[in-house]
C-alpha cells in the first residue's frame, strides 16, 4: 500500500509543481483575456498557453516548490473550510440581529453575520500557509522564528479566547 507521502513524492518527480504553475498562469491569463474581451475565445486560449509556457521558463525552481506547497496546503484548507461550513449549516448556527429592546429581528447564517471576522481569519491562515511553505525567502525576508502549525494553532486559539472574553463584557 502506498501512503500519501510516497504518492506526493512520485507526483513531484513527474513534475506536478511545474504543471500546477502552468495551470495557474494559464487560468489567470485566460480569465483576464476572456473577462476583458480583448481577444476571442480561441486566440485567448492560444495566448494563455504560450504565456503559461513563458512563465514556466522564467520562474526559478524555488518559487515552483513554494507554489506547489501552497497549492497543496490551500486544498487541505479548502476542504476544512467546506467541512466547517457544512457542520455550521447542519447545526443551523445563526447570527441574530436584535432591536433596541432585545427582540430578535432577523437571523442570518453565522458566516454571513461575521463576514469580516471570517475574512480576517482566512487572510491569517493564508499568511501562515505562505510562511510554512517557505515563501519568506522569495520576498526577501531571511526568516522569522519557527512558526509551525502547532504554534499557529495556539496563537489562533489565544485570539479566539481573547475575542470571546471581550464580547462577554
Q: Residue 78 pLDDT > 70, yes or no?
A: yes
Domain residue extents for the chain? 1-59, 61-169
Q: Between the CA of residue 98 and those of 12, 59, 104, what are the distances in Å?
A: 53, 53, 4
Residue-level pLDDT at 16 = 67
pLDDT in tens, 138-166: 777 766 666 677 777 888 888 888 888 87
- Mean pLDDT across the chain: 77
pLDDT in tens, 7-60: 666 656 656 677 777 788 888 888 888 888 877 878 888 888 888 877 777 777
Q: Between the CA of residue 119 and those of 64, 77, 115, 137, what are the distances in Å?
A: 27, 14, 6, 26
Mean pLDDT of 117-143: 77
Residue-level pLDDT at 8 = 62
What share of the chain in percent tops pLDDT 90? 0
Residue-level pLDDT at 11 = 59
Q: Using a cut of 0.85, tell me whether the model's pTM lies above it.
A: no
The terminus-to-terminus CA distance of the chain in angstroms comes to 54
Mean pLDDT of 105-128: 80
Amino acid at each position: 500500500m502506498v501512503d500519501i507521502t510516497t504518492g506526493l513524492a512520485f507526483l513531484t518527480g513527474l513534475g506536478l509543481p511545474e504543471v500546477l504553475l502552468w495551470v495557474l498562469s494559464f487560468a489567470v491569463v485566460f480569465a483576464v483575456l476572456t473577462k476583458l474581451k480583448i481577444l476571442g475565445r480561441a486566440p485567448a486560449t492560444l495566448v494563455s498557453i504560450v504565456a503559461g509556457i513563458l512563465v514556466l521558463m522564467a520562474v526559478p525552481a524555488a518559487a515552483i516548490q513554494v507554489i506547489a506547497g501552497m497549492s497543496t496546503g490551500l486544498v487541505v484548507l479548502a476542504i476544512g473550510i467546506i467541512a466547517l461550513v457544512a457542520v455550521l449549516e447542519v447545526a443551523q448556527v445563526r447570527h441574530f440581529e436584535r432591536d433596541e429592546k432585545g427582540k430578535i429581528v432577523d437571523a442570518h447564517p453565522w458566516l454571513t453575520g461575521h463576514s469580516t471576522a471570517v475574512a480576517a481569519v482566512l487572510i491569517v491562515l493564508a499568511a501562515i500557509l505562505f510562511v510554512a511553505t517557505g515563501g519568506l525567502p522569495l520576498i526577501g525576508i531571511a526568516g522569522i522564528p519557527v512558526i509551525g502549525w502547532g504554534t499557529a494553532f495556539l496563537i489562533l486559539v489565544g485570539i479566539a479566547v481573547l475575542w470571546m472574553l471581550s464580547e462577554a463584557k
